[in-house]
Amino acid sequence: MSMTSRLFRLLDAASTPLRASAHCDLPCGVYDPAQARLEAESVKACMEKYAASSDPDFKVRATTIKEERADLVKHHLWVLWTDYFKPAHLEANPQLHDLFWAATKTAGESKKTNDVAVADRLLSEIDAIAEIFWATKK
- How confident is the model over 51-77, as pLDDT tens digits? 999 999 999 999 999 999 999 999 999
- Overall average pLDDT of the 71-86 stretch: 95
What is the pTM assigned to this prediction? 0.79
Nearest Cα neighbor of 106 from 66, 82, 74 is 74
Per-residue pLDDT tens digits for 22-44: 555 555 567 899 999 999 999 99
- Overall average pLDDT of the 118-132 stretch: 98
- Overall average pLDDT of the 99-111 stretch: 98
CATH topology of domain 26-136: Four Helix Bundle (Hemerythrin (Met), subunit A) (1.20.120)
* Residue 73 pLDDT: 98
